[in-house]
Structure 1
Amino acid sequence: MLDKTTVSNLNLEKYMGTWYEIARFQHSFEKDLVGVTATYKLREDGKIDVINAGYKNTLDGEYKQAKGKAKIPDKIEPGKLKVSFFLFFYAEYNVLELDENYQYALIGSSTPDYLWILSRTPQMKDSTYNMLVEEANTRGYDTSKLFKVPQKLKD
């Protein structure tokens, strides 16, 4: 059984900005992408602009990006967002773990097929990574499916 309990507090303004994908479950819409980032920007209407970007196959590969939007459908559960990259089709974006300084996050969905480990920096301490993997494992995710995303070093 998957534990989809989300964080009880989410300060959207602190969450905005760029996050680096440290690890993920592979899926069709990010297939072959490395150096992936997700950038969030709060809109005046309360929704969020989302830009996911990365490089095809190698860190020197073709740069690709997808623009989407996100929203919090229920203010009582701020850690449960909905994200859309395709017209009006929204998918769950559940903030499962988030440190108090908004430096790392564990993101899941409504199914056990989607999982991301995000960081504000392109690299993450092994101890933090291992803690998040263990948390995902405890929640019922098959962490053997995690793909560590190659990232460029910051300039």
Structure 2
Amino acid sequence: MIDKTTVQHLDIERYMGTWYEIARLPNRFEKDLIGVTATYKLRDDGKLEVINAGYKNTFDGKFKEATGKAKIPNPEEPGKLKVSFFLFFYSEYNILELDDDYQYALVGSSTPKYLWILSRTPQLEEKTYDMLVQQAQARGYDTSELIKVKQKKE
């Protein structure tokens, strides 16, 4: 059983901007991507614009970008977002852990197959990474499959 408890407080404006994908569980829509980022922007209609981008295999590889939208369906649960990259099909985007300075985040979904470690910088301190992996394990995620995502140096 996965513990999908999300953060209780979220300043959505502080969450906006670019996040670097430090690690992820394997998934088909990010297969072989490196240098992956997720950029969030507030839209005029109150929803969020989500731009996921990365390079296929190498930093000289094909640049792939997907633009979607996100919303917070229940203001009582601000850490539970819904994200859509295809028409009106929304997936859970659960902010499981978020530091007070909005420098790193642990994000999951409705299934234990999706997990991401995000950072505001292309590299994350090893002790912070290890702590987030331990938190994911404590929540029931199988972190043995985590892929560390290659990022360009700052």
Give the match for residue 3 of structure 2: 3
Give the match for residue 73 of structure 2: 73
Q: Is the 8 A contact 1:59 1:150 kept in 2?
A: no
- Quote the offset at 1:146 in angstroms: 0.4
User: SS state of the match for residue 41, structure 2?
Assistant: strand
- Quote the offset at 1:153 in angstroms: 1.3
Query: Is 2:51 the partner of 1:54?
Result: no
Deviations 1:90-144 (A, max 9, x none): 0000000000000000000011000000000000000000000000000000000
Q: Percent identity?
A: 73
User: SS state of the match for residue 105, structure 1?
Assistant: strand
Matches within 5 A, 1:26-105: 26-105=26-105
User: SS state of the match for residue 4, structure 1?
Assistant: coil
User: SS state of the match for residue 102, structure 1?
Assistant: coil
User: SS state of the match for residue 132, structure 1?
Assistant: helix
Q: TM-score, normalised by structure 2?
A: 0.99
Moved more, 57-66 or 108-117: 57-66
User: SS state of the match for residue 147, structure 2?
Assistant: strand
For structure 2, the 5+ residue unaligned runs are none
- Quote the offset at 1:74 in angstroms: 0.3
- Quote the offset at 1:32 in angstroms: 1.0
- Quote the offset at 1:46 in angstroms: 1.0
The amino acid that maps onto 1:13 is E
For structure 1, the 5+ residue unaligned runs are none
User: SS state of the match for residue 53, structure 2?
Assistant: strand
Give the match for residue 13 of structure 1: 13
- Paired with 2:19 and 2:60, the residues of 1 have a C-alpha distance of 20
Q: TM-score, normalised by structure 1?
A: 0.98
Q: CA RMSD in A?
A: 0.5
